[in-house]
Amino acid sequence: MKLPRFHLLALLALSLSSAAYAGKLPRPDHVVVVIEENRGYSQIMNMRNSNSYINALARRGALFAQSYGVAYPSQPNYLALFSGSTQGITRNSCPHTFDSGNLASSLLGAGLSFASFSESLPATGDLICASGAYQRKHNPVANWQGASLPAEMNRRFADFPKEFSSLPTVSFVIPDQNNNMHDGNFETADEWLKKHIDPYVDWAMKHNSLLILTWDEDDGRDDNRIVTILVGQMVKTGSSDQRINHYSVLRTLLDFYDLPVIGAISNAEAIRGIWKIRQ
């Protein structure tokens, strides 16, 4: 049966509206990105760890079954997640200074805010390459400090706000070598996350905010397949097979706030299909 013209137009409008709605992203008030180290997907999401805090967190939010690092070793992945480029770095070398566009400068340019909170960083703005369990190679904001970013963005985790409403728009949280699975074990890192990050997660579920928990790379045995988990008030629970990497996560962060693409992320797709969007 041939439909009247106005019915066809109505169906087309509905189809276009549904497609636009499906592609829409939320605008979180706050996003906290926590980066762990050197564990593949199969090492984290297995029966042995089924009672862990990390696995409970995955059940509480969206778990990406096809999430990947972009390089080896650690440092290029942090640079990619922060700036949309590995900056030509192929080693865990230090120091480096860059002046290209990045997540923090993009947020600042739009009147928004950013800070990186690194555990065991000696002092705000410290540019030391290593101090105890702190490693600058895992703290990308330090490589732009002075060239284009203020020192106060490079902060200690001890300064992470207890009043979460005072957090920047986007924050990176960098556990130190003892608590990020690099030198310490899974159980230590899992307990650290439960103690230090779970209070924020509980708050985020009621305050239009988001946690992104991800890893820099695997241990070299899982094709650089890593765990990425998103938890927040705007996230549907479940598993996603969308293939993502660090560029996808950065693209999502920029798209949340309608910021221009930077670096290599013009070819990256933002995270889709997991959002609860109010119409």
Structural domains in the chain (count): 1
The pLDDT tens digits for 75-107 are 999 999 999 999 999 999 999 999 999 999 999
**Strands 114-118 and 225-232, bridge-based pairing:** unpaired
Position 5 scores a pLDDT of: 56
Q: Give the pairing type, strands 238-240 and 154-156.
A: unpaired
Q: pLDDT digit string (tens) for 177-187?
A: 999 999 999 99
In order of 12, 22, 24, 119, 130, the CA distances from 19 in angstroms are 11, 5, 9, 42, 48
pLDDT at 86: 98
The verdict on residue 171 lying in a domain is yes
> Does the pLDDT of residue 61 top 60, yes or no?
yes
Q: How confident is the model at residue 143 (pLDDT cuts 50, 70, 90)?
A: very high
The region, left, alpha or beta by phi > 0 then psi within -120 to 50, assigned to residue 82 is alpha
Please provide the average confidence, as pLDDT, over all residues in the chain.
92
Instruction: State the number of CA atoms in the 13 A half-sphere of 88 facing the CB.
Output: 4
Query: How many whole angstroms separate alpha carbon 146 and alpha carbon 144?
Result: 6
pLDDT band at 277 (very low <50, low <70, confident <90, very high): confident
Q: Report if residue 15 sits inside a domain.
A: no
Sign of CA dihedral 161, 95, 189, 249: positive
Q: For the segment 101-129, what is each residue's pLDDT rounded down to a tens digit? A: 999 999 999 999 999 999 999 999 999 99
pLDDT score of 15: 39
Residue 14 forms part of a structural domain: no
Alpha-carbon distance of 124 to 266, in angstroms, equals 33
Within-domain flag for 9:
no
pLDDT of residue 278: 54
Residue 203 CB neighbour total at 10 angstroms: 17
Q: What is the pTM of this model?
A: 0.91
Query: In this structure, is residue 1 part of a structural domain?
Result: no
Reported as a single tens digit per residue, the pLDDT across 216-225 is 999 999 999 9
Residue 187 in any domain: the answer is yes
Question: Is residue 125 in some structural domain?
Answer: yes
Is 142 among the domain residues? yes
Strands 209-215 and 225-232, by their bridges, are antiparallel
| pLDDT exceeds cutoff 60 at 238 | yes
CATH of the domain at 248: 3.40.720.10
* Higher per-residue pLDDT: 138 or 22: 138
| Domain span at 45 | 27-267
Instruction: Label each residue of 189-254 as H, E or C.
Output: HHHHHHHHCHHHHHHHCCCCEEEEEEECCCCCCCCCEEEEEEEECCECCEEECCCEEHHHHHHHHH
Please tell me the chain's helix, strand, coil percentages from 3-state DSSP, rounded to the nearest 5. 35, 20, 45
